[in-house]
Amino acid sequence: MSDAANESPEAAVHAFIARTITEHPVVLFMKGVPDQPRCGFSSLVVQVLDHLGVDFVGVDVLQDEALRQGVKAFSDWPTIPQLYVAGEFIGGSDIVREMFQSGELKPLLVQKGLLAEA
C-alpha cells in the first residue's frame, strides 16, 4: 500500500485511505462488498446509494484489520460504514439514512456533479 519501505503500517493505511477518497468521488468503507454486504448498516447505505443511482467504490474493511481500525482513526468515527463524497466525510448509516429521508443526499450528489438532476 506504500512506496516508502520505512513507513509505519498506520501511515501506510492512512495514505491508502487518503488516496482512495481522493481518487474516487464516492467511497463507502463497509463490511463486505456492495453485492454482498455483511452487516445491516452497510447494507442500508448500499441500498440508498443504489437507489439514487450513484456510482461508488466499496472498500471492504473486513479484509484488513489495520484498515478497519485505520479508517476509524482517519475519520475520527468509531463505527463502520463510513461514506465519503468528494473527499469529505458525510457520516455513517444513521446520517446517510436521515439525509436520504430528508431529501438532502441527492442534491448534495447533484451539486458535486456525481448525479444528473432529474
Partner 1 sequence: MGDKRETALGQVRDSIVKKLTAAFAPSVLEVVDDSAHHQGHSGSREGGESHFTVTVVAEAFRGLGRVPRQRLVNAALAEELKGPVHALSLRVLAPDEHTGGPAPQ
Task: Name the residues that contact partner 1, by CB under 8 A.
Answer: 31, 38-41, 76-79, 89-95, 98-99, 101
Least Å distance between CB 73 and partner 1? 12
Whether the Cβ atoms of residue 45 and residue 83 lie closer than 8 Å to each other: yes
> What letter would DSSP give residue 116?
-
**Residue among 34 and 81 whose Cβ is closer to partner 1:** 81
Closest CA to 48 of 93, 89, 6: 93
Least Å distance between CB 4 and partner 1? 30
- C-alpha cell of residue 67: 484498515
End-to-end CA distance of the chain: 39
Least Å distance between CB 100 and partner 1? 11
**Residue among 54 and 83 whose Cβ is closer to partner 1:** 83
**Residue among 49 and 82 whose Cβ is closer to partner 1:** 82
**Residue among 1 and 112 whose Cβ is closer to partner 1:** 112
- How many Å apart are CA 43 and CA 66, to the nearest integer? 22
